[in-house]
Amino acid sequence: MNEHPVTGDGDDVQAGDGHLTNTINVDIGGTFTDCFVSYEGRQASGKQATTRYRLTHGFNAAIEEAAGKLGVGADELLHETDLVRYATTLAMNALIERKGPKLGLITTAGYEDTVFIGRGAQWHDGQPMERKREIARGRRPTPLIPREMIVGVRERIGTDGDVIVPLWEDDVREGLHRLVDQGAQGFIVALNFGHVNPKHEEIVRDIIREEFPDIFLGAQPVLLSSEVAPRRNEYQRSMTAILSAYLHRTFAEELTELSAVLRERGYGHSLFLANNAGGVNPLERTTAVQTYNAGPVGAVIGGEHVLRQYGFPNAIMTDMGGTSFDISTVVDVGSDDEGGHHFYAQMPMIDRFRVSISMIETRSIGAGGGSIARYNDLLDILEVGPESAGSNPGPACFDQGGDEPTVTDADVVLGYVNPDYFLGGQIPLNAEAAHDAVRRHLAEPLEVSVEEAAYQVRRIVDGQMGNEIYKETNLKGFDPREFRLFALGGAGPTHACGYGAHVETPEIYSFPFASVFSAYGIANSDFRRAYEQSVKVMLYSPSEKEWLWDPDEFNDVVRGLQEEALRDAEDLGAGRVQFSLELEMRYGLQPHHTRILSPRLFVESDEDCEEIYRAFAREYERIFSKAATYLKGGVEILSFILWSVIPTQRIPLPTFDLSGPEPDDALKGRRPTFWGSTKGWVESSVYDLSQLKPGNRIEGPAVVEAPDTTVLVDPSWSLRIDQHANSVMERVET
């Protein structure tokens, strides 16, 4: 990674000199709000139900819980905190509920239907595989902007940025007045090849401000596609700008309120938002689309940090929460900050729309503790998910009006989850309601016992999760047996042996902070931002049989992005900033690209070009095989992605001396757990996770309880506590 000094006398100590002391890191999920605090060298976590009606309530409650564990008041903690990082679901919620404002889109005449056509596959974009197979039932997503709110203006910019047809300003004024008359509350300008030459988009913005200054319309957002996503492909670029404008208002209102609450309680710095590229940035430098799926991405960053301390190269992060099951992979992690590769989505998707941003790839399915189990009388089968009971009303055992059985209800019936110790007793569960829901909705239609029906729920949901893990690794060209598996989320450690058995991973790791692992990952996130530009550069010409003849064609793009990044770093007060370069490349005229980490930030010779090509060829061979490489077809660079990283403080795992294997001091008692019709009910030992010592070993079946999760050790599995006080589960040879 290339490091560069930043000019200027910035005095904002929050930004990147690695000496932060106190941080608060919050991840709001669909069911729970998680908090991880680092204060005066100590760490604590908090977990509270997400208050969807007003997110600040759950946010404050989680901070107060963590502060209580540290023995300080929440206001005192906030006053002494250097940095608050926050992963928000606001963008996701506003999009799901379609609560955005009425917007107007100004585009090139003749291209008004681009966002409706999509890429020709819009009818199944963002859909699970089983839905994609139902071709006759395929439906395009409900558009965010109706056709009558789109106007075309006469203009044309060529692929090289030359103006072919000047902009007809009368078209702009006429279309603008039509949009305002129909109630437009914001404007998006997305003209063809605006990312190559933004001149016409900027003129349109000037006309909007001239015709309707703030005194008439108020502060209505005007977004240019060339600024939001300066990338090729007009559909993705347009949708990225549209989504940014659509989510802007809810995003701004909620975060303004949150910032005000933090200031009132004593926090005196900027609010920083986690983004889906794997970093954090100040609120004022973060768009709504960048926060989409930031929570699951936090788990990727946390997993990479943990891997680096263990010295393992590869891991699969699995996060089973209340609503979803998230999967991500990290490979080739080294012992220093240079190692580690996480995958960026080939076709990044938000909801059912393709976008043009660098987003770390995570895969989600509707499989969580709140996933609803139903009997399908048409097919005579039991189905689990993807619909979730959420936190309100929640599973039947929550006793808040929920009537249908969920995965959590099944775990209660099977004896895996203690009804009196869910979230450390904060949420007492009604075991009788769980039994009743499983009996009425599942056992009676299936004509089996209540425990058999509940066990089927567990087997089905574990099979679904194991299948997704297997597909996720195999489709990337990896063998899951070469990966450690990290079981995260509140429900992950409870089901890890079940879904881990499907992929035959050598070891499963769970952590004392597993249920707030995304918040832990956010706590170890750098100030990280991508600066992107789509520029086609021919790295190797097949006709001339020579490498890039003018290095400035490559270097000028990188320098331009670097200058922009350095200006932002100077505003943050950073002393030094690290740069790395990624390239989207392809063999000549191929429809799809392959993304690589460039071994060179700048090129000065043919040898540099060959080094870049070798990096591309290695990744291409891994995905498609060596037989698919074809240098004679030429090699093109399509897009440049420059990463700016300002490192922040890392939170190391603690290290302890190992004790003996006997866990007797942590034994809480015994209770029966059910393991299918063959084994039936088995009297199982129950342990207190906080009392287990490094070196202790437990044979399954056993239950290990913690305030925020339950670690279930299946039969034929064992658990040991390692030197970092983490739980490691392994298959026992039988």
Average pLDDT score over residue span 332-345? 63
Per DSSP, the three-state class of 196 is coil
Q: Which residue has the higher pLDDT, 523 or 287?
A: 523
- For residue 354, the model assigns a pLDDT of 86
Average pLDDT score over residue span 692-701? 94
Distance, CA of 307 to CA of 511 (rounded, Å): 13
- What 306-310 contacts at long range (C-beta under 8 Å, 24+ apart), as own/partner pairs, is 306/486, 306/509, 306/511, 306/653, 307/333, 307/340, 307/484, 308/333, 308/334, 308/335, 308/336, 308/337, 308/339, 308/340, 309/652, 309/653, 309/724
Give me the sign of the Cα torsion angle 239, 244, 246, 251. Answer: positive
- For residue 455, the model assigns a pLDDT of 96
Q: What is the pLDDT of residues 403-427, one digit of tens each?
A: 899 999 999 999 999 999 887 887 8
Share of the chain above pLDDT 70, in %: 93
Whether pLDDT at 54 is above 70: yes
Among 439, 493, 503, which residue's Cα sits nearest to residue 466? Answer: 503
List, in order, residues 6 or more apart from 514 with CB less than 8 Å away: 487, 488, 489, 492, 493, 709
- For residue 672, the model assigns a pLDDT of 96
Torsion on CA atoms 656, 297, 579, 564, rounded to nearest 10: -140
Amino acid letter at 373? A
- For residue 16, the model assigns a pLDDT of 43
- For residue 168, the model assigns a pLDDT of 93
Check whether the bond before 282 is cis (ω within 30° of 0).
Answer: no
Q: What is the pLDDT of residues 622-644, one digit of tens each?
A: 888 888 888 988 999 999 999 98
Secondary element (H or E) of residue 609: helix 606-624
| Residue 18: pLDDT band with limits 50, 70, 90 | very low
Q: What is the pLDDT of residues 215-256, one digit of tens each?
A: 555 567 889 998 888 888 888 899 999 998 888 877 777 788
Mean of per-residue pLDDT scores for the chain: 86
Q: In 10 A of CB 435, how many CB atoms?
A: 20
Average pLDDT score over residue span 94-107? 83
| Residue 397: pLDDT band with limits 50, 70, 90 | very high
Angstrom CA distances, 397 to 47, 433, 489, stand at: 19, 5, 19
Q: Is 28 exposed, middle or buried (0-12, 13-18, 19+ CB in 10 A)?
A: buried
Whether pLDDT at 660 is above 60: yes
> Is the distance from CB of 121 to CB of 63 less than 8 angstroms?
no
Share of the chain above pLDDT 90, in %: 40
| Residue 663: pLDDT band with limits 50, 70, 90 | very high
Across 29-137, the runs of DSSP E, i.e. the strands, are: 32-39, 42-49, 83-87, 104-108
Among 76, 32, 37, 36, which residue's Cα sits nearest to residue 55? Answer: 32
Q: Six-digit token pair at 501?
A: 């058995």
Confirm whether pTM is higher than 0.75: yes
- For residue 6, the model assigns a pLDDT of 59
Among 341, 310, 308, 641, which residue's Cα sits nearest to residue 478? Answer: 341
Q: In 10 A of CB 622, how many CB atoms?
A: 13
- For residue 552, the model assigns a pLDDT of 93
Whether pLDDT at 467 is above 70: yes
Determine which of 29-43, 139-153, 159-173 has the lowest per-residue pLDDT on average. Answer: 29-43
Write down how long the chain is.
734
Whether pLDDT at 287 is above 90: no
Strands 32-39, 353-354: pairing kind: unpaired
Distance, CA of 284 to CA of 142 (rounded, Å): 30
Whether pLDDT at 140 is above 90: no
List, in order, residues 6 or more apart from 52 with CB less than 8 Å away: 93, 391, 392
Distance, CA of 209 to CA of 646 (rounded, Å): 36
- For residue 12, the model assigns a pLDDT of 39
Whether pLDDT at 512 is above 60: yes
| Residue 15: pLDDT band with limits 50, 70, 90 | very low
Among 380, 376, 381, 345, which residue's Cα sits nearest to residue 363? Answer: 345
Whether pLDDT at 265 is above 50: yes
Among 479, 482, 461, which residue's Cα sits nearest to residue 470? Answer: 479
Among 395, 459, 457, which residue's Cα sits nearest to residue 427? Answer: 395
Q: In 10 A of CB 117, how many CB atoms?
A: 11
| Residue 574: pLDDT band with limits 50, 70, 90 | low
Whether pLDDT at 284 is above 80: no
- For residue 477, the model assigns a pLDDT of 77
- For residue 610, the model assigns a pLDDT of 94
Amino acid letter at 631? L
Q: Six-digit token pair at 430?
A: 């009604």
Distance, CA of 136 to CA of 148 (rounded, Å): 28
Whether pLDDT at 563 is above 50: yes
Domains of the chain: 10-94+252-284 (3.30.420.40), 99-247 (no CATH), 294-367+462-523 (3.30.420.40), 371-461 (no CATH), 529-646 (3.30.1490), 664-731 (no CATH)
Distance, CA of 656 to CA of 678 (rounded, Å): 40
Determine which of 135-144, 305-314, 372-381, 476-485 has the lowest per-residue pLDDT on average. Answer: 135-144
Q: In 10 A of CB 376, how many CB atoms?
A: 10
- For residue 13, the model assigns a pLDDT of 35
| Residue 545: pLDDT band with limits 50, 70, 90 | confident
Q: What is the pLDDT of residues 186-219, one digit of tens each?
A: 899 999 998 889 999 999 999 998 888 765 555 6
Q: Which residue has the higher pLDDT, 6 or 293?
A: 293
Whether pLDDT at 183 is above 70: yes
Average pLDDT score over residue span 317-327? 86
Q: Six-digit token pair at 650?
A: 């890392």
Whether pLDDT at 174 is above 90: yes
